[in-house]
Amino acid sequence: SVQEFMTFTSQLIVERSELGSRASVKEQEYLCHVYVRNDGLAGVVIADNEYPQRVCFTLLDKVLDEFSRQVSKMDWPSGSPATISYSALDGYLSKYQVWPPWM
């Protein structure tokens, strides 16, 4: 399924990325933009080739910064969507789903 593809690909890309790195990786017809912070927190945006790379990394910066303020660092390694509540993600995804995000 699409969800399984996204989860597997995201995990693989994060595992292969170094702390403090940003990268864009082509996978099938998508670009996977990954940001792994120095503290180990990571995020991935999967977008088509037309979505601006700069916007993907801006989104990752905002989401990871806010997440790190709201969720204890002790919960990051073992957390999952079922155990960590981070409701702001839905708002970010809605806002950035269409380019430009103000449309």
Q: What is the CATH classification number for the domain harbouring 13?
A: 3.30.450.50
Per-residue pLDDT band for 63 (boundaries 50, 70, 90) equals very high
pLDDT of residue 38: 97
Q: What is the mean pLDDT of residues 38-67?
A: 94
Q: Establish if 46 belongs to a structural domain.
A: yes
Residue 79 has a pLDDT of 84
In a domain, 103, yes or no: no
Indicate the number of domains in the chain. 1
Asked if residue 102 belongs to a domain, the reply is no
pLDDT of residue 54: 94
Identity of residue 99 = W
Residue 45 resides in a domain: yes
Per-residue pLDDT tens over the stretch 1-52:
888 988 899 999 999 999 999 999 998 889 999 999 999 999 999 999 999 9
Is 65 domain-assigned? yes
Full residue range of the structural domain in which residue 58 is found:
2-97
DSSP string across 1-62: -HHHHHHHHHHHHHHTSPTTEEEEEEETTEEEEEEE-TTS-EEEEEEETTS-HHHHHHHHHH
Could you identify the residue written with the tokens 């660092």?
73
Instruction: State the DSSP code for 91.
Output: H
Confidence at residue 97, expressed as pLDDT on a 0 to 100 scale = 82
